[in-house]
Amino acid sequence: MVGLLPQRQTGLVPEPRCQGKLDYFPWQTNLALSYYRQHEEKETRNRPSRLPGRHQRSSPYGRAQRGSSKEEVGHEGIPAQDAAVGQAGRQAQKQREEERWCEVSIYKRSDNGIYWFKYMANGRLVRVSTHQTSDKTARKMEATHRARTAKEHDDEQAARERLNCSDVARCASCEKLFDAHTMVSDGSNQVFCSNGCIIKWRREHTAIPTVGEFIRDRFEPWARTKFQKEATRTWDSWYEPGIKTILSYSPLCDRLLMEVTSEHVAEFAAHIRTEGLAGRPLAAASANARLRVLRRSFRLAVEWGALDKAPKVKLESGERHRERVLSPEEEAKYLAAGCPLLADVATVLVDSGMRPEECFRMRWESETWVNGRHGTIFLAHGKTKAARRVLPMTPRVRAILEARWEQAGKPEEGWVWPAETKSGHVEGFTFKKQHRKALNSCGVRPFVIYSFRHTFATRIAPRVDAWTLCKIMG
Ligand SMILES: [Zn+2]
């Protein structure tokens, strides 16, 4: 085996076993190398565009590399031939002094016939594949690339002068040139001109969730923590069915959150109205409940920065506001379950048909004990003329109000239902918790406080004409 013999003893120069692979030379002496180079150069002369890797090693473009290569060869006394240069290379060498920062040459790789070009830019050798096998196209691309590089160079020069700094960098987000000393980094190898640009870049480059992912991963956990324990009813009758319905409709859920438009929402609405859940179409009110949950999720997505603009959610028309009317039994159960203040207010409401806020704003100076059979309530602060009216008291309203009046020390004026609120009297929220508590303990099907007004109107309607009813209701 030749490979085992030291070269100095034999004085032989081994034939390269496999051209193009230096590893096959067990003794990498200068002599062996220069022998190999001669062979290689001969070859390269015939095919000047062979193997870009070796080109680079003996290329005329890198001054230092070229220098060392010459020295190595010269040491053995073999004249160096810059064979790898080729016609294009020699021309480039001539031009180098004029175009120090940018020289381009084009060459073809022998293994796949793809054209590459390379050039020096700002002391760096840049090699670019054109991915083309046609030299015409490759040359065109090279020209374009060259023009662009030249323009970038000019821009950078101009920016340096304009910003009066030694070094400029290009922001990865807004692509503007800025003083490199003021750069901000996000920890990666990208540079940015400002923190705002980092945020913008992140928003553009982090994975955008689908509607389903957003609802499952962010919206549902939020709704659970906010409502499941504190407002069980809201969770059970509102969020849970809404989330379930949205997640069951994959054409909407599989869409990217940012892609969703009002059209996709309308498709979803149409689907639940016609196909519905498990083949049962949803009524307008139920569909709207789901759509409101969807709308809430879009608005939160905007609030949380996952979405730029919430798509419009158009509610279905034809939602019937079924007006809940209480039966006398339900009313009695509720009044028994409510705390005294709530029971009193509820009694006044159900016997007078006042709007809740009219009742909350009642004042002693507006009550008259002697008018009518049991006294009257004057509502002076209506929004419209019709809302200002006098209502008769029923015996139990008279009893409640009189007892409260006496308890308060028979005041001449002041709020009938005083409370420690900003306004000084009770408000809707005063009864929110107590109303829910009363509902839970009395077992009556849920209703809202406003239902007392409907209940009153329904009860009185058969006994009065429409005109009087309007007058009473205000
Ligand atoms: Zn920027």
Taking only the tens place, the pLDDT of each residue in 70-100 is: 333 334 444 444 444 455 555 555 454 444 4
Distance 186 CA to ligand 1 centre (A): 12
Expressed in angstroms and rounded, the spacing between residue 197 Cα and the centre of ligand 1 is: 5
Under the banding of pLDDT at 50, 70 and 90, the label for residue 252 is very high
Residue 132: which H helix or E strand, with range?
Answer: strand 124-132
Is pLDDT larger for residue 371 or for residue 354? Answer: 354
Of 163, 193, 222, the one marking the end of a domain is 163
Asked whether residue 412 falls in the same domain as residue 431, the answer is yes
Given a cut of 80, whether residue 281 has pLDDT beyond it is yes
Please state the rounded mean pLDDT for residues 216-235.
Answer: 86
pLDDT at 434 > cutoff 80: yes
Tell how far the Cα of 241 is from the centroid of ligand 1, in angstroms. Answer: 44
Q: Give the distance (Å) from ligand 1 centre to CA of residue 183.
A: 9
Residue 466 three-state SS: helix
Q: Measure 176 CA to ligand 1 centroid, in angstroms.
A: 6
171 Cα–ligand 1 center, Å: 5
Q: Does the pLDDT value for residue 28 go beyond 90? A: no
The CATH number that applies at residue 348 is 1.10.443.10
Give me ligand 1 centre to Cα 128, in Å. 27
Q: What is the pLDDT of residue 209?
A: 87
The answer to whether residues 181 and 259 belong to one domain is no
What's the pTM value of the predicted model, to 2 decimals? Answer: 0.38
- End position of a domain, from candidates 104, 136, 163: 163
Q: Quick one: 416 and 454 in the same domain? A: yes
- 243 Cα to the center of ligand 1, angstroms: 39
CA distance 375 to 398: 7
Give the distance (Å) from ligand 1 centre to CA of residue 192: 5
Return the structure tokens found at 371. Answer: 């008018």
pLDDT confidence bin for 234, thresholds 50/70/90: confident
What is the 129 CA–ligand 1 centroid distance (Å)? 29
Q: What is the pLDDT of residue 442?
A: 87
Q: How far is the CA of 181 from the centre of ligand 1 (A)?
A: 14
- Is the pLDDT higher at 188 or at 327? 327
Q: How far is the CA of 262 from the centre of ligand 1 (A)?
A: 32
Collapsed DSSP state (helix, strand, coil) of residue 30: helix
CA of 175 to the centre of ligand 1 (A): 6
Task: Give the confidence band of 30 by pLDDT, cuts at 50, 70, 90.
Answer: very low
Residue 350 CA to residue 457 CA, distance in Å, equals: 9
Q: At what angle do helices 395-407 and 340-352 cross, to 10 degrees?
A: 140
Task: Work out the average pLDDT over 48-72.
Answer: 39
Q: Is 172 in the same domain as 277?
A: no
Q: Which residues of 4-38 are buried (b: 16+ CB within 10 A; e: fewer)?
A: eeebeeeeeebebeeeeeeeebeeeeebbbbbbbe
For the chain, the domain total comes to: 4
My answer on whether 287 and 371 are in the same domain is no
Asked if 194 and 238 sit in the same domain, the reply is no
Residues 11 and 157 in one domain: yes
DSSP string over 62-96: -HHHHHHHHHHHHHTTPPP--TTTHHHHHHHHHHH
Under a CB-based contact definition with an 8 Å cutoff, are residues 277 and 225 in contact?
A: no
Q: What are phi and psi of 115, to 5 degrees?
A: -85, 140
Q: Report the pLDDT averaged over residues 379-393.
A: 79
What is the token pair recorded at 105?
Answer: 């040459």
Residue 133 shares a structural domain with residue 254: no
What mean pLDDT is predicted for residues 175-184? 89
Alpha carbons 267 and 173: distance in angstroms, whole number: 36
Distance 160 CA to ligand 1 centre (A): 16
Q: Rg for the chain (alpha carbons), in Å?
A: 44
- Whether residue 318 is contained in a domain is answered as no
Residue 322 lies in a domain: no
Q: What value does the mean pLDDT take over residues 301-313?
A: 90
Q: Convert the pLDDT of each residue in 108-128 to its tens digit.
A: 888 888 888 887 766 777 788
Identify the band that residue 51 occupies on the pLDDT scale cut at 50, 70 and 90. very low
Whether residue 429 is contained in a domain is answered as: yes
| Domain of 292, in residue numbers | 211-303
Q: Within a domain: residue 313?
A: no
Residues 396 and 277 in one domain: no
Query: Position 396: which residue type?
Result: R
pLDDT score, position 294: 95
DSSP code of 308?
S
The helix-helix angle for 340-352 and 451-460 (nearest 10°) equals 40
130 and 260 fall within a common domain: no
